[in-house]
Amino acid sequence: MKKPAKKIVVELGPDLQPGIEHTLRLAISTKLPESLAVPAQAILRLNDMGSFTKPGPRQYPHQWNWDAAVIALGLSHFDLPRALQEIRALLQGQWKNGMVAHIIYHGGASDYFPTPDFWQIEGSPDAPTVATSGLTQPPLLASVLRTIHRRHPIPEFVREVFPAVLRWHRWFHTARDADGSRLACLIHPWESGTDDSPRWLNAISHIHPVNVPAYQRRDTVHVPGSQRPLKEDYDRFIHLVDVFRTNHYDAAAVLEKSPFLVQDVLTNSILHQADQDLRDLALEIGEPVEEIDGWIAGVRAVFDSRFWDEARGLYLDYDVRQGAPIPVNTAMTFLPLYAGLASQQQAARLVQEHLLNPAEYAPDDRTPFWLTTTSKAEPAWEPNRYWRGPFWIILNWLVEIGLRRYGYEDLANAIRRDSLALIRKAGFWEYFDVSSGSGCGSDEFSWSAALAIELS
Least Cβ distance, residue 102 to ligand DGY (angstroms): 6
Burial 34-53 (b: 16+ CB within 10 A, else e): eebeebbbbbbbbbbbebbb
Least Cβ distance, residue 100 to ligand DGY (angstroms): 14
Catalytic residue among 277, 430, 433, 454: 430
The reply to whether 195 belongs to the active site is yes
Binding mask 94-113 for ligand DGY (x = CB under 6 A): --------x-----------
Residues 418 to 437: which contact ligand DGY by CB under 6 A?
Answer: none
Q: Which is nearer to ligand DGY, 191 or 317 (CB)?
A: 191
3-state secondary structure 408-426: CHHHHHHHHHHHHHHHHHH
Least Cβ distance, residue 384 to ligand DGY (angstroms): 16
Q: Which is nearer to ligand DGY, 140 or 154 (CB)?
A: 140
Compute the radius of gyration of the chain from its Cα atoms.
21
Q: Establish if 191 lies at the interface with ligand DGY (CB under 6 A).
A: no
Coil, strand or helix: which one is 104? Answer: strand
Any residues with CB less than 8 A from the CB of 424 and at least 6 apart, and which? 32, 34, 36
The footprint of ligand DGY on this chain (CB under 6 A) covers a number of residues equal to: 4
Q: Which is nearer to ligand DGY, 112 or 369 (CB)?
A: 112
CB distance 357 to 405 below 8 Å: no
Any residues with CB less than 8 A from the CB of 19 and at least 6 apart, and which? none
Q: Is 288 exposed, middle or buried (0-12, 13-18, 19+ CB in 10 A)?
A: exposed
Any residues with CB less than 8 A from the CB of 157 and at least 6 apart, and which? 84, 87, 149
Least Cβ distance, residue 379 to ligand DGY (angstroms): 23
Q: Which is nearer to ligand DGY, 219 or 443 (CB)?
A: 219
Catalytic residue among 48, 126, 191, 195: 195
Q: Which is nearer to ligand DGY, 189 or 402 (CB)?
A: 189
Supply angle C-alpha 389, 272, 69, rounded to 5. 65
Best CA proximity match to 416, nearest among 368, 386, 390, 452? 452
The reply to whether 430 belongs to the active site is yes
Q: Which is nearer to ligand DGY, 57 or 325 (CB)?
A: 57
Residues 26 to 55: which contact ligand DGY by CB under 6 A?
Answer: none
Least Cβ distance, residue 182 to ligand DGY (angstroms): 26
Q: Establish if 190 lies at the interface with ligand DGY (CB under 6 A).
A: yes
Q: Establish if 219 lies at the interface with ligand DGY (CB under 6 A).
A: yes
CA 131, CA 95: separation in Å to the nearest integer? 11
Least Cβ distance, residue 128 to ligand DGY (angstroms): 18
CA 437, CA 166: separation in Å to the nearest integer? 40
Q: Which residues are catalytically annotated?
A: 195, 430
Residue ranges binding ligand DGY (CB under 6 A): 102, 190, 195, 219
